[in-house]
């Protein structure tokens, strides 16, 4: 199998002679200059379930920064608005957003029947290929069916708006809509594969990978996995471009490292986050008379399960559950805690995290990190160098790593600062956004169309 392509944004490992040094710039460096007026500006259709979404700040930043570089980004969401928890900046996003959701039900089916009347053979072929497909669970099936049908309206919207490249920010439902719209219009499409959208694989991942102009991923661990779904000889369409840091101001926390020690964990209360193992590790630390408290920031379907575990282990007095915290308020928690713990796990069906953005955010603020070795986390947490890395689903190892981190404040700070240097190089805003801009501009050029 040919080696999958690695974009310039992922080619130079931090620390190598070609890797950038220093902090991420606040503005655009020379290699990220905006498109000139003489350039043919492509029109990129960004396809998502929701936009903006409070838990997808990295995608919001990506869209804003690409627009700053001169790309015409038009966002299309398969669902309606979901602005709860969004910052003021997100709620006031000025760019064009076309939302579907329940309000578009009749328009979606009208678009379907228009397509059926215009090209019945193609529509029936799409139905055979993409509609009656087995998905990994009922939720994924429902999402795929809705997005498949929404693809017919998306095709009309993209044609109306002069879109030259349809890009889905996720490989599951939104990519299904992008795939359908591309097949109907001939507009090339691409998608990004990140984590739970590709593990376990979507029921249409092979077909979408076959027809995509390129596949972007944001961590190196995904490259070989995604290449498996490409046709023989086309594995090079997988392109690695890391995300950009969402925290760019250096605001180091106090890092008191004084009893009671304060641990921080952030994420959705879901099966891949490993919070039950973290709570078990905390119980172990308390039995060993280590004076620790945990702040567990987030919410989700597993909240009841976690609360019951906390009560069963008698930990209600040492675990704080503030609920969902807007992204722009997360700095305050990072400034007042001693370390971030990221106990991610791989679910039995293969679902997993990629590189949780909270790791990069914590390191960018000089907060030490203990994490599990899942998917791309080891690309950032290099054990003993930029943090401590332990096996997944091992509460004893997790507790031991926390003790080690607490035992030597200076070493903990040194690892955090090394981690800050690493993430500022790997997730440099100017370099990575410029790489994305160039990738989209090249793909959206008229000669790139199939």
Claim to verify: residue 200 and residue 272 sit in the same structural domain: no
Identify whether 375 is part of a domain.
yes
Query: Count of CB atoms within 10 A of residue 80's CB?
Result: 13
Identify whether 46 is part of a domain.
yes
Identify whether 298 is part of a domain.
yes
Identify whether 217 is part of a domain.
yes
Claim to verify: residue 289 and residue 306 sit in the same structural domain: yes
Residue-by-residue DSSP string for 276-324? HHHHHHHHHHHHTT--EEEEEE--STTHHHHHHHHHHTT-TTTEEEEE-
C-alpha distances out from residue 275 to 228, 261, 272, Å: 31, 18, 9
Claim to verify: residue 161 and residue 299 sit in the same structural domain: no
Identify whether 23 is part of a domain.
no
Q: Does residue 29 register a pLDDT over 70?
A: no
Claim to verify: residue 195 and residue 340 sit in the same structural domain: no
pLDDT digits (tens, 9 = 90+) for 246-262: 876 666 667 888 999 99
- Strand ranges in 54-160 using DSSP code E only, listed in sequence order: 72-77, 97-99
Identify whether 272 is part of a domain.
yes
Claim to verify: residue 192 and residue 315 sit in the same structural domain: no
Claim to verify: residue 157 and residue 279 sit in the same structural domain: no
Claim to verify: residue 283 and residue 163 sit in the same structural domain: no
Q: How confident is the model at residue 34 (pLDDT cuts 50, 70, 90)?
A: low
Predicted TM-score of the model (pTM): 0.87
The pLDDT score that the predictor gives to residue 14 is 34
Question: How is residue 408 written in tokens?
Answer: 């030597």
Closest CA to 271 of 361, 339, 199: 199
Closest CA to 370 of 389, 350, 391, 345: 389
Claim to verify: residue 420 and residue 437 sit in the same structural domain: no
| Beta bridge mates, 73 | 44
Q: How confident is the model at residue 94 (pLDDT cuts 50, 70, 90)?
A: very high
The pLDDT score that the predictor gives to residue 37 is 39
Claim to verify: residue 296 and residue 193 sit in the same structural domain: no
Domains contained in the chain, number: 2
Claim to verify: residue 78 and residue 217 sit in the same structural domain: yes
410: domain range?
261-426
The pLDDT score that the predictor gives to residue 20 is 37
Claim to verify: residue 352 and residue 432 sit in the same structural domain: no
pLDDT digits (tens, 9 = 90+) for 306-355: 999 999 999 999 999 999 998 888 989 999 999 999 999 999 888 899 99
Q: Does residue 120 register a pLDDT over 70?
A: yes
Query: In this structure, what CATH number is given to the domain that contains residue 301?
Result: 3.40.50.2000
Q: Does residue 163 register a pLDDT over 90?
A: yes
Claim to verify: residue 159 and residue 301 sit in the same structural domain: no
Identify whether 318 is part of a domain.
yes
Identify whether 271 is part of a domain.
yes
The pLDDT score that the predictor gives to residue 41 is 66
On whether the CB atoms of residues 4 and 214 are closer than 8 A, the answer is no
């Amino acid at each position: 199998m040919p080696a999958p392509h690695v974009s310039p944004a992922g080619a130079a490992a931090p620390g190598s002679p070609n890797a950038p040094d220093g902090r991420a710039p606040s503005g655009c460096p020379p290699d990220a200059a905006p498109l000139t007026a003489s350039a043919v500006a492509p029109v990129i259709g960004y396809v998502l379930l929701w936009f903006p979404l409070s838990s997808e700040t990295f995608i919001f930043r990506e869209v804003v920064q690409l627009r700053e570089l001169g790309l015409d980004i038009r966002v299309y969401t398969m669902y309606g608005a979901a602005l709860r928890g969004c910052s003021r900046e997100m709620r006031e996003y000025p760019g064009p957003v076309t939302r579907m959701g329940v309000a578009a039900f009749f328009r979606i089916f009208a678009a379907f029947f228009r397509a059926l009347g215009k090209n019945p053979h193609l529509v029936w072929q799409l139905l055979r290929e993409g509609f009656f497909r087995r998905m990994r669970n009922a939720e994924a099936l429902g999402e795929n069916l809705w997005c498949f049908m929404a693809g017919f309206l998306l095709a009309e919207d993209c044609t109306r708006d002069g879109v030259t490249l349809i890009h889905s920010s996720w490989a599951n439902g939104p990519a299904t809509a992008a795939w359908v719209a591309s097949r109907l219009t001939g507009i090339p499409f691409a998608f990004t594969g990140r984590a739970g959208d590709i593990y376990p694989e979507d029921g249409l991942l092979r077909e979408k990978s076959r027809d995509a102009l390129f596949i972007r991923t944001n961590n190196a661990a995904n490259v070989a996995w995604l290449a498996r779904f490409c046709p023989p000889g086309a594995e090079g369409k997988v392109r690695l471009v890391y995300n950009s840091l969402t925290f760019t101001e250096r605001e180091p926390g106090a890092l008191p490292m004084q009893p009671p020690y304060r641990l921080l964990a952030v994420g959705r209360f879901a099966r891949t986050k490993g919070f039950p193992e973290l709570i078990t590790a905390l119980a172990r630390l308390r039995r060993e008379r280590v004076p620790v408290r945990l702040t567990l920031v987030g919410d989700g379907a597993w909240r009841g399960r976690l609360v019951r575990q906390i009560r069963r282990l008698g930990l209600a007095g040492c675990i704080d559950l503030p609920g969902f915290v807007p992204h722009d308020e997360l700095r305050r928690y990072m400034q007042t805690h001693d370390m971030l713990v990221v106990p991610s796990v791989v679910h039995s069906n293969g679902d997993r995290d990629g590189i949780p953005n909270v790791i990069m955010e914590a390191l960018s603020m000089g907060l030490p990190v203990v994490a599990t070795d899942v998917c791309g986390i080891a690309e950032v947490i290099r054990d003993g160098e930029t943090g401590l890395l332990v096996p997944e689903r091992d509460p004893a190892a997790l507790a031991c790593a926390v003790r080690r981190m607490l035992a030597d404040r200076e070493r903990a700070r040194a690892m955090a600062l090394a981690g800050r240097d690493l993430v500022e190089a790997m997730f440099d805003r100017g370099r990575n956004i410029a790489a994305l801009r160039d990738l989209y501009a090249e793909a959206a050029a008229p000669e790139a169309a199939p």
